[in-house]
């Protein structure tokens, strides 16, 4: 339990160091297999670390994981990151994917960048979901 908890906290930090805040980082958007490999889903609502509410979303994600682990596993982790502790790297995924909601093209670029930088377990959406999302975008324009 502790190892998975720490991996999740490190993942939140890793995203933020690359300019991204997930915005909905909680037990409903995280899948853990029997080998304790973590898969994070539901990226379209992410925002940049420069977004005015980035700190609030970051800390909410950290707190969601802490509360979940306490309730589900009776585990209280000593370590939990603060937004102020996360310094960005030279990799600006938020800029690359135009974080704060993005299209099919941005989703594909994001997945390529995640693979390039060896960030594991990015969920690939079905082509139909992409097409459906793009159709909605076109209708709004």
d(C-alpha 64, C-alpha 62), whole Å: 6
How does pLDDT run across 109-138, given as a tens digit for each residue? 767 777 777 765 444 433 444 455 555 555
Among the options 24, 42, 85, 90, which is catalytic? Answer: 24
SS3 99: coil
How does pLDDT run across 66-102, given as a tens digit for each residue? 999 999 999 999 999 999 877 666 666 666 666 554 4
β-strand partners of 30 = 40
What is the DSSP code string of 14-80? HHHHTTEE-S--SGGGEEE-TT--EEE---TT-EETTSTTHHHHHHHHHHHHHHHHHHHH----S--
- Annotated catalytic residue 85: no
pTM to 2 decimal places: 0.65
């Amino acid at each position: 339990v502790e190892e998975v908890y720490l991996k999740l906290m490190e993942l939140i930090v890793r995203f933020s160091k690359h300019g991204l805040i997930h915005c909905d980082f909680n037990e409903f958007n995280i899948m853990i297999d029997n080998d304790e490999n973590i898969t994070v889903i539901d990226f379209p609502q992410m925002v940049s670390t420069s977004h005015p509410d980035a700190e609030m979303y970051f800390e909410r994600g950290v707190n969601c994981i802490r509360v979940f682990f306490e309730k589900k596993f009776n585990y209280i982790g000593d370590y939990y990151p603060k937004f102020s502790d996360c310094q960005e790297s030279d990799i600006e995924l938020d800029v690359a994917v135009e974080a704060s909601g993005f299209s099919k093209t941005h989703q594909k670029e994001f997945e390529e960048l995640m693979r390039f930088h060896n960030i594991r377990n990015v969920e690939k959406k079905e082509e139909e979901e992409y097409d459906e999302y793009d159709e909605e975008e076109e209708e709004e324009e």
